[in-house]
A and B are shown apart, each in its own frame.
Chain A
């Protein structure tokens, strides 16, 4: 190899390592900025009153205190709100899994007149943005007598087309041979759905479950409109009413937001890969 070529190669390698260092610095720099809000939340939640409003930010409190946590847990309904949210998100997720898998099975594996039309109406309804329906939905839920009931919160959340759309993509690829073999063995249609199909569709069903759970846990406007008594609030609404009703205390609010974000953070840390997968399926299949 000529010296010229070696030099060119060497400078390319040096170039690459400088770039790598730059890349590390940029990515970890952005990551550090991303962590600032978390750090400030934790810092404020542990600060004694005397340090709270200091002009110079003390990132690490000189005398960390848990008084704000004790206060939130004993003086607010935060645990009740957590349970309410868990209940609403849990039921929504179960209903969505059941209803969406049933109709996706029917649309892909059973032949009946009109199914193509039904599927295209469901897909077209993707274009209906969540907030457009808020007003007529409110009058409907109110006519049905479901205001301030969990059914009023949950039912509209189960009507979304995303899950049907997602599952149809997967159910379509299910091998015909397996289905016919099961029929020859005398399986009923319902057994083909419940014993053959569902167990084979674990990963799209998990993805849908996680996505539905997180998004219904985080709902804000709809529960705010439907739920009207403090004891029935979900976490997001409870937090906001807490911030406007209590005497303004940053430490208290940050302790409350930390407690409120813990459950989903635990879910996230345990099931990161599944959750990220659920989002990616949406991006590639949607």
Chain B
């Protein structure tokens, strides 16, 4: 191995000292990067900057050049709008309803399926399968499950003698109902990542612990949890970011109602932009979302840094 490596290094050095080759490599490097850099700058970087610009204007959707600079007015209006706070709290509520169960259930199922069991492949398939469905399919199936007169849930709830709510039309139960459908839909993602993290723990760690008499709960607390920490942090943050941006399920299942009981931030943004055509205002809401999610990512890096 050492001879070819030395040769490689010499070849490298020879190429690096040759200006003509270096210039050609620079040209090729830029040409190879160009297609992606073009879509990246036009459809990701530019809108990001334009969004900030728009959020500082009373945006005229028909004649953008007549937009008026209003500085922070959109943001002030946002903070003073009770509907914004309503959407924010509903979003936070949805995050609280979905993130802990998704992480904990995902972990429990991953640890279970990690054992030597019959039908592991089948179980993995069942838990993961809803993840490939599109949000429209998930929402429409769950609408039928929650149906007040002929849905399955209400029938079995009535069997045990409780008067069931009209789930999706209820201010109290609307959000939990959407959360339950979401858990069914996305649990597979966390499950698969946590399963692979569990399988990455060397078995000799458990053997060594067993010699010391550490079984069950102690092995879980002293080996499994610390070894899986990076994966758990990753899953929690990704889940938080996804849940914070909930849109499709609410849009289809409840439309934000009844009243505004299940209105979320992205719903609020969507309505401001595409129902009321207040682009500057909607862009400000978008930037608020951006800042919250960046803050979460920062906390993530801090946590991940501590565990490394």
Contacts and interface: CB of A to CB of B under 8 A. Distances in A.
B5 A177 contact: yes
Contact of A37 (B26, B42, B184, B287): B184
Interface string B154-188: 01000000000000000000000000000010000
Given A31-B126, A125-B40, A133 B144 contact: no
Contacts of A186: none
B256 interface: no
B95 to A, nearest CB: 14
A34 B196 contact: no
A84 B177 CA distance: 32
A contacts with B: majority SS: helix
Nearest to A225: B274
B26 A283 contact: no
Contacts of B142: 37
Contact of A41 (B144, B192, B270, B282): B144
A276 to B, nearest CB: 5
B292 to A, nearest CB: 9
B293 interface: yes
Given A220-B135, A260-B134, A136 B43 contact: no
B43 A156 contact: yes
Contacts of B127: 30-31, 34
Given A135-B273, A135-B282, A284-B197, 18 more contacts: A24-B118, A99-B35, A106-B28, A131-B286, A132-B293, A133-B48, A176-B5, A177-B4, A180-B7, A218-B134, A220-B247, A221-B270, A235-B134, A250-B144, A260-B137, A268-B129, A283-B197, A286-B234
Interface of B: 4-5, 7-8, 11-12, 16, 22, 25-26, 28-30, 32-33, 35-37, 39-40, 42-48, 50-51, 54, 61, 64, 109, 112-113, 115, 117-119, 122-130, 132-137, 139-145, 147, 149-150, 152, 155, 184, 189, 192-193, 196-197, 200, 231, 234-235, 241, 245, 247-248, 251-252, 266, 269-270, 273-274, 279, 282-283, 286-287, 289-290, 293-294, 297
13 contacts: A102-B35, A105-B32, A106-B30, A112-B30, A125-B44, A133-B48, A135-B286, A155-B43, A160-B44, A176-B12, A260-B137, A261-B132, A272-B125
Interface of A: 20, 23-24, 26-28, 30-31, 34-38, 40-41, 44, 52-57, 98-100, 102-103, 105-107, 110-113, 115, 118, 121-122, 125, 127-140, 155-156, 158-161, 164, 176-177, 180, 183-184, 189, 193, 214, 217-218, 220-221, 225, 235-237, 239-240, 243, 250, 253-254, 256-257, 260-261, 264-265, 267-268, 272, 275-276, 279-280, 282-284, 286
